[in-house]
Amino acid sequence: MTSFQLNEKTAAFLANYKLFEDDVIQQVQLQHRLSLVEAFAIQTGMHVLEIGCGQGDTTVAIADAVGENGFVTAIDIASPDYGAPLTLGQSADRIMNSALGKRISFQFETDFDKFESTALFDMAVLSHCSWYFKRPEDVLHYFKKLRGMTKRLCFAEWDLDFTSMAQRAHFCAASILALYSNFINNDGNIQNLFDKTQIKQLLKQADFQIEKQLVVDATYLQDGQWEKSYANSIRQQFSHALPMIQTLVNSYYELMNTSTGNEQSLNSFILCAH
């Protein structure tokens, strides 16, 4: 991870809500989520649906943006017992006990396929959750359902189109873990890789019109190192894969473990559509 320094927006958030004050890892993640939400252009008073909320990293940033008269409905298919170092439930409890709690409803073990709402949301957000999907058809299905539930959709994911060699290790680690998920069934956070071109095509197929696209700096995040470490921990499990897969994976490992001495995470791309 590159050197990290709190910006004014993150410092103000920490002072206002007394969240993550002793958790440097969460402060780093928070700063990036605040940048994403700023790019989403969420307005005060909005009712936002967040799909794949996880531990609420993006949820709190959205709740801050909607203000006291806004609300966030945050859903995730996972159990409250899922996740580390804090489970989803533990993290949600911490958030709900903060001043932001009254603006948020966490709904875990909630399959979006079965989720219904009589109200039209001002915005739906999918932030760094698409790589959990196994197939493009599943993402398209979500987009099509959202078309009738929200006025606007904002999407964020890691940008595979890395612009610095320092980001190559994160790209290789993500590729290895996507192959791993197709080789060995697991519930890891990378099941498949979708790039921005494919997501744009899926949005258009769902009759969304893209209004904004940009890239947000994420080089300072810890995720690249986390994914590299996890990829190295499962290398031996590829020993029973087909020779062609082993050749491909070994090539990724060699590239991933050739350190530049200043490894960085991939950036995030954002797509907003109506």
In the chain, what percentage of residues exceed pLDDT 90? 78
268-273 and 210-216 as β-strands: parallel, antiparallel, unpaired? antiparallel
Is residue 86 over pLDDT 90?
no
Widest CA span in the chain: 58
| Residue 68's pLDDT band (cuts 50, 70, 90) | very high
| Residue among 91, 90, 87, 82 nearest 58 (CA) | 91
Is residue 94 over pLDDT 70?
yes
What is the per-residue pLDDT across 209-264, written as a single tens digit (0 to 9) for each?
A: 999 999 999 999 999 999 999 999 999 998 888 888 899 999 999 999 997 668 89
Instruction: Return the number of other C-beta atoms located less than 10 Å from residue 75's C-beta.
Output: 18
CA pair distance 200, 177, nearest whole angstrom: 23
What is the per-residue pLDDT across 104-124, written as a single tens digit (0 to 9) for each?
A: 999 999 999 999 988 899 999
CA pair distance 265, 252, nearest whole angstrom: 16
